[in-house]
């Protein structure tokens, strides 16, 4: 019989948040597939686990995936963990879960901490419904498209961001959503220097420009509270001319045109360069 793949949520920072079930699972499995073995090793020591550690991250090879699947196929239980929180939620691991399911290998969740729910719980914004967008691209048309998605969202939006880019993200959000839109920035959740700061996007952008945050950061942005109006699809040629008139380079105009209209990138590139 095949082993079981356990998807195990681990603490965001405070080890006391590790559930008894998660601790028991980590001590029982034959191997632990970890995003960063250096980060996971102290956790296994904390619970007294002697499981083999296997490095499994976003850039792992097919050979590594096959190695973990072979362990499962030969009857060994494996736990999948990320550095903090719940695996596969804006973290690597979905490919392993999908591959296990394709082979009828049992997949079991051991739920627990997640920065998404933790930040929503202390943001003071509506969480009846929300949209999770993870990390936005650093630049380009896809970033602009997703910023527009945040601006138009009826519901609260949750984002992740690296600490040194938080001020820039908040500035871009203020430009897209309007500076008076309410938001919250939660950092170092469950850790010694945990802080959640709420205010308008303009206020938050100014604060973090002067005091860049440290540690893991989750940004929560209020929704509009009303459904977005369906806009007619833009004419690609007219939109391409408008983007060029705004001063965008042909490359950036091509990326944004593809993102806005849904046409293929090479089609957008040919259209823009033909004007």
In order of 143, 166, 176, 207, the CA distances from 180 in angstroms are 21, 17, 11, 15
Instruction: Yes or no: say if 46 and 149 are a contact pair by the CB < 8 Å rule.
Output: no
**Is residue 108 in a domain?**
yes
Instruction: Yes or no: say if 125 and 93 are a contact pair by the CB < 8 Å rule.
Output: no
The verdict on 15 and 90 lying in the same domain is yes
**Domain end marker among 113, 143, 169:** 113
The verdict on 154 and 204 lying in the same domain is yes
The verdict on 212 and 128 lying in the same domain is yes
**Is residue 61 in a domain?**
yes
**Is residue 229 in a domain?**
no
User: Strand (E) positions, 56-167?
Assistant: 78-81, 107-110, 130-135, 156-161
Helix (H) or strand (E) holding 182: strand 182-187
Question: Comparing C-alpha atoms, which of 216, 19, 26 is closest to residue 115?
Answer: 216
- The CATH number covering residue 172 comes to 3.30.950.10
What distance in Å separates the CA atoms of residue 236 and residue 252, rounded to the nearest whole number?
15
| Helix and strand totals (H; E) in the chain | 11, 10
**Domain end marker among 58, 86, 113:** 113
The verdict on 249 and 216 lying in the same domain is no
**Is residue 226 in a domain?**
no
The verdict on 56 and 150 lying in the same domain is no
What would the pLDDT profile of 166-186 be if each residue is shown by its tens digit? 999 999 999 999 999 999 999
Q: So what's the pLDDT on residue 233? A: 65
Q: Which residue has the higher pLDDT, 265 or 228?
A: 265
Helix (H) or strand (E) holding 19: none
Q: Which residues contact residue 228 at a Cβ distance below 8 angstroms, ignoring those fewer than 6 apart?
A: 152, 153, 154
Helix (H) or strand (E) holding 195: strand 195-200
- The CATH number covering residue 76 comes to 3.40.1010.10
How many structural domains compose the chain? 3
Interval 238-265 mean pLDDT = 88
Residue 230: is its pLDDT beyond 80?
no
What distance in Å separates the CA atoms of residue 90 and residue 136, rounded to the nearest whole number?
11
Instruction: For the sheet with 195-200, list strands across it.
Output: 130-135, 156-161, 217-221, 182-187, 195-200
The verdict on 35 and 132 lying in the same domain is no
The verdict on 207 and 136 lying in the same domain is yes
Q: If DSSP codes are grouped into helix, strand and coil, which group holds residue 206?
A: helix
Residue 234: is its pLDDT beyond 90?
no
Interval 176-197 mean pLDDT = 96
Q: So what's the pLDDT on residue 232? A: 65
Length of the chain equals: 275
**Is residue 244 in a domain?**
yes
**pTM for this model (two decimals):** 0.81
In order of 17, 149, 261, 272, the CA distances from 240 in angstroms are 51, 20, 10, 6
Range of the domain at 166: 116-221
The verdict on 19 and 38 lying in the same domain is yes
The verdict on 201 and 212 lying in the same domain is yes
What distance in Å separates the CA atoms of residue 81 and residue 117, rounded to the nearest whole number?
18
**Is residue 131 in a domain?**
yes
**Domain end marker among 113, 134, 165:** 113
The verdict on 194 and 252 lying in the same domain is no
**Is residue 230 in a domain?**
no
The verdict on 141 and 101 lying in the same domain is no
Q: At what angle do helices 141-152 and 166-177 cross, to 10 degrees?
A: 60
The verdict on 190 and 267 lying in the same domain is no
């Amino acid at each position: 019989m095949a082993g079981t793949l356990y998807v195990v949520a681990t603490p965001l920072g405070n080890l006391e948040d590790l559930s008894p079930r998660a601790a028991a699972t980590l001590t029982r499995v034959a191997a632990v597939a970890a995003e960063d073995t250096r980060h996971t090793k102290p956790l296994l020591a904390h619970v007294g686990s002697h499981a083999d550690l296997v490095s499994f991250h976003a850039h792992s090879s097919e050979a590594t995936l096959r190695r973990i699947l072979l362990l499962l196929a030969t009857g060994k239980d494996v736990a999948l963990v990320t550095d903090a929180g719940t695996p596969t939620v804006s973290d690597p691991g979905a490919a392993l879960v999908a591959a296990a399911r394709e082979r009828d290998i049992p997949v079991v969740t051991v739920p627990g901490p997640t920065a998404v729910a933790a930040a929503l719980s202390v943001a003071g914004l509506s969480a009846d419904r929300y949209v999770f967008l993870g990390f936005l691209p650093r630049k380009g048309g896809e970033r602009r498209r997703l910023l527009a998605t945040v601006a138009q969202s009826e519901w609260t939006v949750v984002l992740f961001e690296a600490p040194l880019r938080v001020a820039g993200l908040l500035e871009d959000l203020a430009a897209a959503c309007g500076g008076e839109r309410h938001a919250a920035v939660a950092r170092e959740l469950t850790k010694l220097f945990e802080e959640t700061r709420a205010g308008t996007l303009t206020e938050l952008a100014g604060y973090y420009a002067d005091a860049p945050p440290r540690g893991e950061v989750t940004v929560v942005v209020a929704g509009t509270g009303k459904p977005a109006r369906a806009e007619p699809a833009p004419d690609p040629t007219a939109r391409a001319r408008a983007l060029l008139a705004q001063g965008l380079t042909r490359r950036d105009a091509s990326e944004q045109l593809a993102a806005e209209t849904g046409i293929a990138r090479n089609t957008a590139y040919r259209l823009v360069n033909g004007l």
